[in-house]
Amino acid sequence: MTRKEKNPDDAGPGPAGSPAGTSGPSLRQRAEAAFRETGPLAPEATRSLLHELQVHQIELEMQNEELRRSQNELEASRASYQNLYEFSPAGHCTLSEQGLILQANLTFASLLGVPRAKLHQQLFFRFILKEDQDAFYLLRKQLVAIGEPQARDLRLVRPDGSFLWAHATATIAHDQTGTPVHRIELVDISERKRLEEQLLKQAVILGKMVANIGDVIVIIDAEGINRYKSPNLEATFGWKPEELVGAKALENLHPDDQDAARQFLGEILAGSKAKIGFECRYRCKNGQYRWIHFTGVNLLSDPDIRGLLGNYHDITERRRLEEESRVYQRQVLEAQKHESLSVLAGGIAHDFNNILAGVLGQAELVIRDLPADSPAQEHLKYVREGALRAADLSGQMLAYSGRGHFFIQPESLNQAVEKVVNLLRLTVRKSIGFVVQLDPTQPLILADAAQLRHVITSLLVNAAEAIGEGGGTITVRTGRAQPEAAASGTTVLLPAPSAGSTAFLEVADTGCGMDAATQAKIFEPFFSTKFTGRGLGLAAVLGIMRGHNGAIKIRSVPGQGATFQLFFPCAAESEAVPVAVATAATPAAAPGCVLIVDDDEAIRITVGDMLELEGFEVVRASDGREAVAIFQAEPERFRLVLMDLTMPHLDGVQACMAMRCIRANVRVVLMSGFDRQEAIGRFKGAAPAGYLQKPFAYAELFKVLHAALAAG
């Protein structure tokens, strides 16, 4: 059976794996020529060929289906890529070499706030803040020169004038024609920049806080090395931080504090204490030390710190105030101790003077009654001398109590020093030299001349005894000082002069010096480092200075001598205190009646006996109330009243005031064991007609009594 020839256009499928018509006419013609050469096919071959053709047709249909599926997937992938490109979180654009926008995604247009259609062929520079355009120019220049991606942070300007921060990344590519183009990716970093700016502001604020806070912030590593010190270190301690970073943390501490500080640092770095405070002295750049309170916390496990985080708190002023407070408390306690002793001494001296007044008066009466050649006269002379020595000791006790017999008036401190020094030069050992430095411009001071000489003498004698047998020098200086100079340092006597200027007397010796324990006792009555105390010594000096409203300062180191400074209030130029002038004894016109008022019977009897020997009539009263009653009964009878100051019921002041109400011109002579000024100062108005300091001698009694009567 022969094969029917077909038209080439009606040809069936071509070679296996190729669709019909895909090989072109030449392939079809070659296939038909090959078929004619084979000749007619046998039926079996025809069936086989037909089967092959059918299978091939099915295969071709499957391939076509796969091609259609791949094409659909490609279209879907292209659409997906387009969506990713258009709606990417980052803006993308393509720029020409001239900087024109060739292509941009929707995100890019959204970032700029411009419709995408209007971006085409626009210069990208138009959308960059002017200040950042140079940076973008350099970015593109480096991109072309290096060929590797370049990145910058830029500020982009929108049409409404607002701007945003964007991180721009540029790469080089080529278009279909091979022309270089620049791919730009923009990521909005405005929020990141806002946070960075906020963090920067916080860092600046924190830096200013650290720089201006009173405490110095430090970081010390596990090896005890400074790793950080805040900038305010220089303001407080003079060191620049870089001068100490890398150095040992303990090297600037006071040597006496280093062992304790090393233990503290070891404990906190070992983690045995979470947080701890420590006080020590820190050396400044100028070599001086300041007290600091160091507080630290162990942050070795913190990756940002890896050490001890601490702070230096300057407590120098606090320590100074604490030390001043301790000194002040010691001064107050010392003053309270001396005040208690002075009250005791004053009370004893007063009672002692009352007793001595009777003893001395009776002794003088007996001396007057006995014949001059009586053997008892010699014994009575010793009794009288003993009573006078006891009276002198009682006077020292009153001086110690600050209630001595003072006549305060303007005095020259320089003249007093010269007189005492000239006298002592003749009595002290020749191996002791005197250096006298007197301020010629020093004003007068308010002082009692006799007590002032006693003070100077006591200080110079004390200095000479401190020098001892080896010889040395005593330096005496005078000068002016402000009240605060007397109030600072080791002021023993409080309060210091507070008004106006003060004058000082300084006595320094090169003797053995004193330790703190000795200094605390030198003003105690009868204390001495040489031998058993004789008299009140420096205790009387303390009392006299208290009575003069003065102050005392001491500086002494064992083996380096001692320095005493005494401060006196200066007298005002216009100030003048009358000098007590002794009035010559004037005989009374005629004896009369005298009222003796004293709660001590011995004094009433003794003084009464003395008056009766001189022809006076005597009436005695044991207290002020009894005296007023006697006086009121016969006010014109009494020419004079001898009145004690301290008595029960009515004291001398009250009784005198009551008598003056009865008879205004009554003459009252006050008797007291206390200081004249203190006693008379209690009177308001007219002072008494006279004053007798107990104990008093026979002659002194009548001297004051005659003067009071003559004055009337």
> CA torsion sign, 704 to 706 to 710 to 712?
positive
Mean pLDDT of 254-260: 92
Measured distance CA(598)–CA(346) in Å, rounded: 19
Buried b (16+ CB within 10 A) or exposed e, 165-184: bbbbbbebeeeeeeeebbeb
pLDDT at 154 over 70: yes
Question: What is the spatial order of strands in the sheet that 216-220 belongs to?
Answer: 226-229, 216-220, 307-314, 289-299, 275-283
Both tokens assigned to 436: 């006298």
- Tell me, what's the pLDDT at 380? 79
Would you tell me which CATH number, out of the four given (3.30.70.270, 3.30.565.10, 3.40.50.1980, 3.40.50.880), belongs to the domain 409-569?
3.30.565.10
At the top level of CATH, the class of 213-314 is: alpha beta
8 A C-beta contact, residue 565 and residue 480: no
pLDDT tens, residue by residue, 537-572: 677 787 788 777 888 888 888 888 899 999 988 887
**Which residues on neighbouring strands pair with residue 166, listed in sequence order?**
154, 188
**Which residues on neighbouring strands pair with residue 216, listed in sequence order?**
312
8 A C-beta contact, residue 224 and residue 265: yes
pLDDT at 531 over 70: no
Domains 213-314 and 593-711 share a fold: no
**Which residues on neighbouring strands pair with residue 186, listed in sequence order?**
91, 168
Mean pLDDT of 298-317: 88
pLDDT tens, residue by residue, 660-696: 999 989 999 998 877 676 667 777 767 788 888 888 8
Instruction: List, in sequence order, the alpha helices (H) in 270-375.
Output: 316-369
Measured distance CA(103)–CA(401) in Å, rounded: 109
In this prediction, residue 307 has a pLDDT band, given cuts at 50, 70 and 90, of confident
Helix axes 601-613, 316-369, angle to 10 degrees: 50
pLDDT tens, residue by residue, 15-39: 444 444 444 567 767 777 776 776 6
Helix axes 601-613, 698-711, angle to 10 degrees: 70
* More confidently predicted of 338 and 610: 610
Q: Within 10 Å of residue 104's Cβ, how many Cβ atoms?
A: 25
Q: Looking up tokens 């040597």, which residue turns up?
A: 255
Measured distance CA(569)–CA(551) in Å, rounded: 9
Strand, helix or coil for residue 607: helix
**Backbone region of residue 561 per phi and psi (left: phi > 0; alpha: psi in -120 to 50; beta: other values):** left
- Tell me, what's the pLDDT at 293? 92
* More confidently predicted of 393 and 375: 375
Q: Looking up tokens 């995408």, which residue turns up?
A: 116
Residues 6+ positions from 577 with CB-CB distance below 8 Å: 408, 409, 410, 446
Mean pLDDT of 413-436: 87
Peptide bond into 371 cis (omega under 30): no
Instruction: List, in sequence order, the alpha helices (H) in 185-257.
Output: 190-212, 233-237, 241-244
The CATH number of 593-711 is: 3.40.50.2300
Measured distance CA(594)–CA(312) in Å, rounded: 81
Residue 435 exposure: Cα atoms within 13 Å on the Cβ side: 10
Both tokens assigned to 28: 């079809």
Residue type, 74: L
8 A C-beta contact, residue 3 and residue 35: yes
The CATH number of 91-195 is: 3.30.450.20
* More confidently predicted of 237 and 402: 237
Distance of CA 420 to the CA centre of its chain: 46
Write the CA distances from 639 to 178, 622, 659, 702, integer angstroms. Answer: 146, 19, 13, 14
- Tell me, what's the pLDDT at 157? 92
**% of residues, the chain, pLDDT over 70:** 81
User: What are the boundaries of each domain within the chain?
Assistant: 8-82, 91-195, 213-314, 409-569, 593-711
